[in-house]
Structure 1
């Protein structure tokens, strides 16, 4: 059996560390909102998914380059990541008392995986835009939803005088 050449530890460089490090840090930041609100998938879960997606992407890109693209489809990384995050997301989503819970958390895990893939592929403009937009969506839209429900930052607003 013919194997690819090993990648020695002294070949580790700043490019690899920046790809994986950015994924881990962004995963932590993406999970911070969920953690602060007491949801199931918090900083550790988001960081691990984002980091794992980046590591898988770096690995598949390196293997593709080493094997000269013979009988290999590097885009299958999206399929594997999607299936894995789908399983985790399905386990998080709960239907209770006529309401769906943890749907946003499951969707946010998918965003963390996509950002991890982008970090692994060193698609830095995509990483920046995706991280900023997802953080804004989570925080700003939460404020809008809370005001619409008569709540402020997740807490039920006390009725004022004259309100029922």
Structure 2
């Protein structure tokens, strides 16, 4: 994955539309399906939990399928980019302990993955106005910079590929 410049205002606007549409679809779909099932298959006990659960499940699956199908539409570009970025960062985060250990031993691929994580996290946190941990990120970046200087390694995050993580 390559990091790209994202228009924050456009991202937030489109994300809010997507979230709103999902909430409306989930509410209407769940209630509609549940009510149809209750009308078709009434329960003498008056408990319709399983029909309500079925409505929520079917609607959630439908929303997921629709989101996957429209992911590549121009309107979804920023939202899909952030979605993909979060997935890439999660893959790195799950291996961060091993990456840091390898980086301390001079592994350039580990340092590259960590640099990508820090740069991507900074972008993500700025897009989501989550600046609480930025001070920690600056500290972590300084620690990585010490390692790159010690091992004389130059990091170019444009060379990061997720397959690099397989070795850790």
TM-score, structure 2 normalization: 0.35
* Higher relative strand content: 1
Which of the two has higher C-alpha Rg?
2
* Higher relative helix content: 2
TM-score, structure 1 normalization: 0.36
